[in-house]
Amino acid sequence: MSRLQHPETVLISFRNRIRLAGVLVFLFFGILGARLYHLQVAQKNHYTTRAESNRISLVPIVPNRGDIVDRQGIILARNHSAFTLELTPSHIPDLETTLEELKVIIAIEAKDLKRFRRLMRESRNFESILLRTRLSDAEVARFAANRYRFPGVEVKARLFRQYPENTLAAHAIGYISRINEEEKNWLESATDTAGNPQGGNYKGATLIGKIGLEKEYEFELHGSTGYAQVEVDAAGHAVRVLKRSPPTPGNTLTLTLDSRLQHMAEAAFGARRGSLVALDPRNGEVLALVSSPAFDPNLFVDGIRFDDWDALNHHPDKPMLNRAIYSAHPPGSTFKPLMAMGALSEKVRTPEQSIVDPGFFRFGNHTFMDDKRGGHGVVNMHRSIVSSCNTYYYRLANDMGIERISRFMRRLGLGNQTGIDIPGETKGILPSPEWKEKRFKNPQQQKWFPGETISVGIGQGYNAYTSLQMAHALANVLNEGRVFRPHLVRSIRNTATGETRFLETTPIRQEMLDPKHVAFIKNAMAGVNKEGTGARAFAGAAYTSGGKTGTAQVFSLRGQRYSASRLQEKLRDHSWFIAFAPVEKPRIVLAIMVENGGFGAVSAAPIARKVFDFYLAGNTVMGAVAEDEAASDEEADPEEPESAPGTPPATPRNAPT
């Protein structure tokens, strides 16, 4: 603009620029309009969806877990409502001060704080986090009065798992506890029995069955998670509930267990370690399943305290171990009726065939001793069971051979899981040349020595079975080969539909056993309770019964005489008893194992008597006297046999049973 211009020209130029500005204003607002059209018309659905997903949050509602009741309907596991104190850190201006002030009105222990801080690390900031459980009414009232001082702190009513019978049948029932990382991953791909994936069903869930029925029937008990559509603000606070699809509570399990019988059996064990399994041979129902000592599953429900866990874990008696399904021991002489059954089935013996027992069995240049010095004289099969003649079974085992023994015992269910409906069952050990080859690495140890077969014949050697397996095997014999899967759950009631589904009414397989042979064995075992080692315990019983005592060696005495009183308790023999009643139509089969109990007739048989009395004749418990008498009566005077080739670690010590 180097030259002066006429004012008129300047004004025209100015007005042109004003017009240009006007055009530019339209242009720019046009661009803005296009942008708004893009957002509000073209992309409207996209942004509406995003606004909705901003505002609506799907909050899972955890279903109530199903109850567990015994066969009479007595509650063994249920949910009870309790008040909890929960904090939402994002709503609390100063967490530490709040915690200090809360301590004044509510008892907060160090372990509560520890758990709180752990949960806080694991969760998102806007979730409410548990600080205290089971507030007393007084604490709830005190908090209510001071509530205004504590923004972000709430008292909530929550359902907790409760095991009202405490330690009763704890190993069978199991417990629930917090879902861990491993279980979380497992749930991702897990499906229930109907094949429905369960990953999504555990949204919001914090608890899962850890052992026992609580674990095995997790998907029955858990129920289906419900959902609430909640409107949330930007900070994630729920503003209001828009829609709610309620959860379906878990199903109720009715057990085959009879909790009175269970209670009785546990009481009969007292402080002794061991296990007991009572089955109904007619259908495989587990009437009692004892593992002693037990634990209190209530300790685990809201996170077990460290010292409780430490105490359970390091207790010398191992209370967490489910002995009934996991502790396998040589069955001792309780193996003899099964051997006899095998001999008959395999046609190795007839009942009438007799041997003359000189008090020992010589094999090669090794001598296997009988428990009775001088022997039992002339012994047929019936007498071999009633008087528990070792020599008869040394010879029988030798005649049958390990393969035939092993094959027959497998048919009875030994050496395999019985399939009971709680997890963690062991297979036990059914010895055979193949088993030994797999079990040992060293080629010299892999070879099966014929001498080892002879130990197996009297239930010693490598043999190792659980009480559940022994009860199962005996039931299979009594059933003439009809094998039922032992099971703890009788029926499952669908809480939503009210339908009840019964489980397991048919045998899972049929083994061919001759009823005549079975009748013979039953009769021989009845003889044990009439005139043999069971006679003392079953004197005066109001019913007929059959049984067989047994002793499993813990410690090899190397030539010393065995005397229970002189041995440390932990080195004493384990005592076994298997039994059934009534003889004609058995309604109950038992296997009892008392760790370090000494002789089966002393420790185990009286427990069986109490259980049978209770189950068959009502509540008349009259075994107490018999037990005391038996203790002073039994003679124990076995001798260490000379070592046979390949003798297993625990050599047969002529188990006197």
Partner 1 sequence: MNRMDLTRRFRLRLRQIGAHLDLPLLFIVGALMAIGLVTVYSATASEGLVKFDSQLLNMAVAVAVMLCIAQMPPQTLMRCAVPLYVLGIVLLLGVALFGVSVNGSRRWLSLGIARIQPSELMKIAMPLMLAWFFHKYESELRARHFLIALALLLIPCLLILKQPDLGTTLLVGASGFFVIFFAGLSWKVMLGLAVAGTAALPFAWQFVLHDYQRRRVLTLLDPSSDPLGAGYHIIQSTIAIGSGGSFGKGWLKGTQTHLDFIPEKHTDFIFAVFSEEWGIAGNALLILLFVLLVLRGLVIAANAATLFSRLLAGAISLVFFIYAFVNMGMVSGILPVVGVPLPFISYGGTALLALMVGIGILMSIRTHR
Residues that bind partner 1 (CB under 8 A): 1-2, 4, 10, 13-15, 17-18, 21-22, 25-26, 28-29, 31-33, 35-37, 39-41, 43-44, 46-48, 50-52, 54-55, 231-235, 239
Q: Toward partner 1, which CB reaches closer, 22 or 200?
A: 22
Distance CA 164, CA 253 (A): 15
C-beta of residue 482 within 8 angstroms of C-beta of residue 510: yes
Distance CA 328, CA 595 (A): 11
Which CB atom, from 10 or from 542, has the smaller least distance to partner 1? 10
* Whole-number Å distance between alpha carbons of 567 and 574: 13
State the nearest-atom distance from the C-beta of 7 to partner 1, in Å: 9
Helix then strand then coil, in percent of the chain rounded to 5, is 40, 20, 40
Closest to partner 1 by CB, 56 vs 503, is 56
Under DSSP, the state recorded for 133 is -
Query: Taking Cα atoms as reference points, which of 622, 560, 624, 617 lies closest to residue 588?
Result: 617
Q: How far is the CB of 44 from partner 1 (least distance, A)?
A: 5
Map tokens 């607002």 to a residue.
29
> Closest separation between CB of residue 61 and partner 1, Å?
22
Nearest to 455 by CA among 636, 545, 333: 333
Gap between the Cα atoms of 90 and 101, Å rounded: 18
The C-alpha atoms of residue 279 and residue 258 are separated, in whole angstroms, by 11
Cβ(358)–Cβ(373) below 8 Å = no
Active-site annotation holds for 81? no
Q: Report the chain's C-alpha Rg in angstroms.
A: 36
**CA torsion 604→613→589→528, rounded to 10°?**
60
Of 40 and 97, which has the nearer Cβ to partner 1?
40
Our CB check for partner 1 shows the closer of 230 and 607 to be 230
Write down the least CB distance from residue 9 to partner 1, Å.
10
Residues 484 and 353 sit within 8 Å (Cβ to Cβ): no
* CA trace torsion 622, 625, 631, 635 (10° rounding): -90
**Which lies closer to partner 1 via its Cβ, residue 237 or residue 516?**
237
Q: Which pair of structure tokens corresponds to residue 247?
A: 């959860």
Give the containing element (helix H, strand E) for 604: helix 600-617
Q: Which residue, 10 or 625, is less far from partner 1 as judged by CB?
A: 10
Take residue 344 and report the two structure tokens written for it.
């008959």
Closest approach, Cβ 128 to partner 1, in A, equals 20
Q: How far is the CB of 153 from partner 1 (least distance, A)?
A: 22
Distance of alpha carbon 375 from alpha carbon 360, whole angstroms? 7
Min. distance of Cβ 31 from partner 1 in angstroms?
A: 7
Count of positions (residues) in the chain: 657
388: left (phi over 0), alpha (psi -120 to 50) or beta: left
- Long-range CB pairs of 563-568 (<8 Å, 24+ gap) are 563/636, 564/598, 564/599, 564/636
Catalytic residue among 292, 333, 455, 545: 333
Beta bridge partners of 522: none
- Other Cβ atoms within 10 Å of 103 Cβ, number: 13
Residue placing its CB nearer to partner 1 in the complex, 110 or 235:
235
- Least separation in angstroms between CB 499 and partner 1: 43
| Shorter beta-carbon distance to partner 1: residue 36 or 141 | 36
What is the three-class DSSP state of 496? coil
> Considering the complex, what minimum distance in angstroms separates the CB of residue 238 from partner 1?
11
Task: Name residues whose C-beta falls within 8 Å of residue 423's C-beta, 6 or more positions apart in sequence.
Answer: 211, 212, 215, 216
Q: Which is nearer to partner 1, 48 or 445 (CB)?
A: 48
Q: How many CB atoms lie within 10 A of CB 620?
A: 12
Min separation Cβ 236 and partner 1, Å: 10
CB of 151 to partner 1, least distance (A): 17
Yes or no: say if 522 and 546 are a contact pair by the CB < 8 Å rule.
Answer: yes
Select from 215, 217, 221 the least CA-distant residue to 297. 215
C-beta closer to partner 1: residue 88 or 167? 88
Tokens of 614: 């209770």
Contact 62, 247 (CB under 8 A): yes
- The label of the residue with tokens 């289906």 reads 224
Tokens of 364: 């090669």
List the helix and strand counts (H, then E) for the chain: 23, 23
Nearer to partner 1, 35 or 184 (CB): 35
Q: Which of 559, 616, 548 is nearest to 582 (CA)?
A: 616
In the complex, least distance from residue 508 CB atom to partner 1, rounded to whole angstroms: 58
Among 551, 572, 419, 433, which residue's Cα sits nearest to residue 485?
419
Give catalytic residue positions.
333
